[in-house]
Amino acid sequence: MREKPKLTSSQWVALLAKEELPAITSIAGILDKFSNDDRSSIPKLSKIILHDQALSSCLIKVANSSSRSPIKKVTTVSRASIFLGVHAVKNICLTAKVLEGLLNSKHLVPEVYERLMKLMANAFYAGLLAKMMVPDYEENTQEEVYLAAMMYNIGETSFWSTGNSLTRELIQKSGMPKLAFEQYCANTAGIKFKELSIGLARTWNLGELLIKSLDQPSSRTKEMNIISLSNQLSEAIGSPPKNRARFDQIIKDVGKVMGVSEAKVKAKIESTRKIAIELLGSYKASVLEGYLKPLPKPQDFGTSTAVIHKQRVELSVELKVLHAVKALSGLTKTSRSINEFLNATMTHLAQIFHFHRSTFWVISPDKTQLDCRLTVDEEGEPVRFYREFSLDQGSNVMTHTLEHESPIFIHDFHDAQWRDYMTIESEQFIESGILCLSPIKINQKNVGVLSSQYLDRTHTFTAQDFAHFDFIAEHLNLCLSAVSKRLAS
């Protein structure tokens, strides 16, 4: 039986926009006709909204919500539109139709329904958290940031709302770490959620800020950083990470963006949650309220969090590197397995730097390619990651580090020094992040490459950090060579 061909990203976008979510496509097309700054558009826009009783009711309720705080109660669509402004009215209408369209999804198995609800709640909360972070911005910019943050993951959310056979197949692997799961979906079904988000954002004309944050994340403006942070924060509140330090870092970063203390950030988050719950009622989406959780408590982070957090507080990076080196040296006396050395190295790298992904690539027997042999996530847990790099089809980042027999640190692959090595496979692998590479050798002979990376550039990784990475990789080479000589004697 022939395998059914996979849909391309553009085919998926067309399917979602035209067949699965036509109401969103329709309202997006209507709203796009009105300029955000043209107050003369209000009468025409109000007239269109009046034809939709649910939308009219929603607009009036949102206008009277505590987040808007009108001096006098608003009772008509026209008054609500004048009070809110064109941009806010458009965002409210779009939000209402997005929530309505996704909540009307049918034929969802329980696991898919649960994932869809969580994604919708996270997205709605992320939009309000992003707006919370820009209290001093002008209203139009606040609305842009809100919409971009709320729709940042619209591709994945829309995909799960279809309830087709693919959703039922892929949901079985949803327990994998996030990046590994996204890679699994891409490999299995050809679905890249980011590409779906970009396609839908363009189809629905959701604004340049959203498209740029998805398509050019390396252009790290303050607004784009806020969009990323708000989604990280919303997700971390909804599903607290095992590692509390990661959550604490997000709170710190939000405080830095807002210029307030961490205590003030937490107070703002709690008040924003109350606003979110109230607004969900106005949007007739109260079913999502249970997914808007309060700030996590210490016990929500998992059993090992306290130990990990204590180590982070007490130990400097230098001491952690020393512990890694001692652990590898100890293995030379007890182990003959290269996998044990690799596991130990990558686990320590994850604990020290919290790379999103670390991978050992082994040179194939015919020397034509590098094959992914072992990958761990930021917690040091093994994940599935399928990729290979060609070694005989011109220069790329992998051939560079092997031919020069030296580590490389790529903070931005757009830099001129990497121009000759940026093949399509190199760019797809790096995405918009930071990459460290080091050749792995046994007795001065290359056997593979160690890569560690952040998949975006929100993390700080200095030249000194890279020197520590290189030091651990070099010590791994020494240990592997020592064991090899001992076995040969």
Domain ranges for the chain, please list them: 9-300, 315-488
**Domain 315-488, CATH number (from 3.30.450.20, 3.40.50.1260, 3.30.450.40, 3.40.50.970):** 3.30.450.40
Cα separation, 489 vs 484, in Å, equals: 9
Question: 412: which residues sit within 8 A by CB, 6+ positions away?
Answer: 218, 457
368 near 389, Cβ under 8 Å?
no
Fold designation for 9-300? Hypothetical protein af1432 (1.10.3210)
Structure tokens given for 258: 């807002």
What local confidence, expressed as pLDDT, does residue 418 receive? Answer: 86
Q: List residues bridging with 357 in a β-sheet.
A: 453
Cα separation, 336 vs 171, in Å, equals: 39
Nearest Cα neighbor of 233 from 221, 241, 243 is 241
CA 267, chain centre distance (Å): 25
N- to C-terminal Cα distance for the chain?
Answer: 55
Torsion of CA 59, 65, 68, 71, to 10 degrees: 100
458 near 231, Cβ under 8 Å?
no
Nearest Cα neighbor of 90 from 39, 158, 137 is 39
Nearest Cα neighbor of 208 from 165, 157, 145 is 145
Confidence (pTM): 0.65
pLDDT in tens, the chain (489 residues): 344 567 888 899 999 999 889 999 999 999 988 887 777 788 989 999 999 999 999 999 999 998 887 788 989 999 999 999 999 999 999 999 999 999 988 888 889 999 999 999 999 999 999 999 999 899 889 999 999 999 999 999 999 999 888 999 999 888 887 777 887 888 888 888 989 999 999 999 998 888 888 876 555 578 888 999 999 999 999 999 888 888 999 999 999 999 999 999 999 999 999 999 999 999 999 999 999 999 999 888 864 433 434 444 446 788 889 988 998 998 888 888 888 898 889 989 988 998 988 999 999 998 898 988 888 888 788 877 777 888 887 888 899 899 888 899 998 888 888 888 888 878 888 877 899 999 999 998 999 999 999 887 777 788 899 999 999 999 999 999 998 887 776
182 near 126, Cβ under 8 Å?
no
